[in-house]
Amino acid sequence: MSLRVRRSWKDGRAQHHGTLDDYANLAEGLLTLYETVFEERYFVAARGLADSIVDHFEADEGGFFDTADDAEALMARPRNLQDNAVPAGGSMATIVLLRLAAFTGEARYRDAAERALAPIVAIATEHPTGFANWLTAYQLASGPIDEIAIVGDPEADDTKALLDVARAGFRPDRVIALSAEPSSSAVPLLHDRVAIDGAATAYLCRGFACQRPTTEPGELAAQLEAARSS
């Protein structure tokens, strides 16, 4: 379900339609917050923002405008592509959509991201300092993303031990979902995952195809190492 935002708040009034930067950066922050505390309301909000990006900002030929299709009418809808001190809205939106594709298995997110990347890659490789975040998006799109689903009580020691392994190191090509009740989760990556013998259990997946679930942190670490070497 699409989620719409305004750009400013003053004296009790929300004003001005949100721009692509607002949607993309807020969605990225919410996904990161979800992976920190695993409160699903943050994931749901991030997905709602991403749906709005696809529904209201995507151009027919791919990529994204800076303003929504129902915002104030301009002579020409702006479309800033270059990353500066703050990443371009388009590059951040592309990263958000790629991450959501890993969380959900929804092809429409990845398809929109790939359409946005296609015309940028050649320019970005020639002028990398002006398109650094686009190159991050390209790296994310080029290789498999490790999808880690953990079933367990977030406060339990065995869950924390698996989570420590899943979070180890800097791995932007990784998403992590966690729930004690995966059957009712809002995160599709967690669906059909079960705890083995009541213990916290981790599933390492790529494209929703998962390796053998494990309750052992050492085995999860070995699976991740093998996957990264393949």
Kindly list the domain boundaries of the chain, sorted by start residue. 6-142, 146-229
Q: Look at residue 107 in the predicted model and tell me its pLDDT.
A: 96
- Asked whether residue 82 carries a pLDDT value surpassing 90, the answer given is no
Mean pLDDT (whole number) for 175-201: 96
Mean pLDDT (whole number) for 156-171: 95
Q: Look at residue 76 in the predicted model and tell me its pLDDT.
A: 75
Q: Look at residue 45 in the predicted model and tell me its pLDDT.
A: 97
Mean pLDDT (whole number) for 29-44: 97
Mean pLDDT (whole number) for 105-117: 96
Q: Look at residue 15 in the predicted model and tell me its pLDDT.
A: 67
Q: Look at residue 158 in the predicted model and tell me its pLDDT.
A: 97
- Asked whether residue 7 carries a pLDDT value surpassing 80, the answer given is no
Buried b (16+ CB within 10 A) or exposed e, 20-35: bbbbbbbbbebbebbb
Q: Look at residue 18 in the predicted model and tell me its pLDDT.
A: 82
Confidence of residue 14 (pLDDT cuts 50, 70, 90): low
- Asked whether residue 57 carries a pLDDT value surpassing 80, the answer given is yes
* pTM of the complete model: 0.93
Confidence of residue 114 (pLDDT cuts 50, 70, 90): very high
Mean pLDDT (whole number) for 125-136: 90
Rounded CA separation 169/167 (Å): 6
The CATH class of the 146-229 domain is alpha beta
Q: Which of 44-53, 71-80, 190-199 has the lowest mean pLDDT?
A: 71-80
Average pLDDT across the chain, whole number: 92
Rounded CA separation 150/221 (Å): 13
Rounded CA separation 203/21 (Å): 33
Q: What is the pLDDT of residues 63-79, one digit of tens each?
A: 999 988 887 777 777 78
Q: Where are the beta strands (DSSP E) in the chain?
A: 6-10, 13-17, 146-151, 174-179, 201-206, 209-210
Q: Nearest to residue 99, comparing CAs of 180, 30, 161?
A: 30
Tell which wins on pLDDT, 103 or 83: 103
